[in-house]
Amino acid sequence: MFAERLKNKVIIVTGGSGLIGNPILEHLKENGAIVINADISNKTNIESGNYACDITSQESILELIDFVIKKFGRIDGLVNNAYPRTKDWGNKFEDVTLESWRHNVDMQMNSVFYICQQVLKVMKQQKSGSIVNISSIYGVVGNDFTIYEGYGGTSPAAYSAIKGGIINFTRYLASYYGKHGIRINCVSPGGIKDQQDFSFIERYENKSPLKRLGRPEEIAPSITFLLSNEASFITGHNLMIDGGWTAI
């Protein structure tokens, strides 16, 4: 039954080789989708569904879309999961340079704008399609900086601005393209366990209603659902997958 959910749907996933991206790829495939993993670390291999794509490059995005259209004739879904960032991404607010801020906004938010714009041209012609953008709890609520105190870390200032912008951009697109039969939604994960400092893990889990960080594979099923026809009346929505973090 589940293998029929996305049967033969052609879906692009940006950043599909990463921590969250890989489980997304696998879950989409398990549900019958034809998945293109668009990741800068890839070597293009048509048979395995891997495509070398730099989402910060307009040319690379256009080449990706052209490749998919020539190969499959359509684009049924897009998951904007890639997360490019500068080497100084972890700097505290007072140490962030304007150049760094601009660069990160350009790489993350502006790349989402451009790939959405180009893919939506295809979906508009098809009169169908679904996009899922990946945001974060920190695009919705303010940061709890006490969870970083044990090791002197922080949450990047640009992260909250970018992720908050992506959520409202999702709503804009949903309103704009709904009449064309296209749905655009957003998923906002909470903290995902990934070799973080022990003090961070302890403080985060202590606050979380479910008393733990999330697992990468817990994000994927919601994305599959939102891309499927089971979510045919859902658009402009931001789904929190956060163990209750934003409920308190």
CA distance 56 to 82: 10
CA angle 130, 29, 81 (to 5 degrees): 50
- Cα gap 10→79, rounded to integer Å: 11
- For this structure, is 176 an active site residue? no
Which residues are CB-contacts of 133 (< 8 A; sequence separation ≥ 6)? 80, 112, 116, 166, 167, 169, 170, 184, 185, 186, 187
Residues 6+ apart with CB under 8 A from 34: 8, 9, 10, 11, 49, 72
Tokens 């899922």 found at: 132
- Which strand (E) or helix (H) includes residue 161? helix 157-177
CA neighbor of 39 nearest in space, from 55, 62, 59, 58: 55
Q: Write down the catalytic residue from 138, 148, 159, 177.
A: 159
The dihedral region occupied by 218, where left means phi > 0, alpha psi between -120 and 50, and beta the remainder, is alpha
Closest-CA residue to 190 (of 245, 134, 135, 242): 242
Catalytic residues: 159
